Amino acid sequence: MADKAIINASPLIFLSRSRHLDLLQAFANEVWVPEPVATEILHRGRHDATAQAIEQTEWLITRPVAHIPTAVTEWRLGAGESSVLALASEHPGTEVIIDDLAGRKCAASLNIPVRGTLGIVLVAKKRGLIPKARPVIEDMMAAGLYLSRKVVDEASRRVGE
């Protein structure tokens, strides 16, 4: 397990809304939420499940982002993705959790380890943390995660379901 990971808004939203936020603890002792991501989520109001998670979950830690490197700004990503990648740039080897394709490509170009929401579920299944991946994936889809049936079927096949 890693010491820390850095998460963007959408994976955090899908995991908290589907009540599977605890899966993140299998990947890192601390999960950092860059300030721009936390601000975006907290604007949803105190009754929002993800806002509550940020405020009440001890291992979700909001971190300031001092500077966005040019290598990140050139990708013209959103504020959340940019801040996640900037924070990871300051802490080499730290894995980022991003679903946005452009953000994932930027991470790869900068040699930043990256995983998406679906990847969290598949690794949790492989590690025996959940008995089946498909119900968790379906919970997240009900919470707003879009995945095609083809992607869900392929993911399930990869973990023997």
Report pLDDT digits (tens) over 19-73: 999 999 888 889 999 999 999 999 999 899 999 999 999 999 999 999 999 999 9
Cα gap 141→120, rounded to integer Å: 14
- Residue 2: pLDDT band (50, 70, 90) is confident
Q: pTM to 2 decimals?
A: 0.94
Please give the pLDDT value at position 150: 96
Domains of the chain with bracketed CATH? 2-118 (3.40.50.1010)
Please give the pLDDT value at position 52: 96
Residues 6+ positions from 151 with CB-CB distance below 8 Å: 118
Summarize pLDDT for 103-157 with one digit per residue, the tens. Answer: 999 999 999 999 999 999 999 999 999 999 999 999 999 999 999 999 999 999 9
Please give the pLDDT value at position 62: 97
> Which tokens in the block code for residue 127?
């590690």
Please give the pLDDT value at position 1: 64
CB 8 within 8 A of CB 99: yes
Please give the pLDDT value at position 85: 98
Cα Dmax for the chain: 44
Strands of 25-107, DSSP E = 28-34, 60-63, 95-97
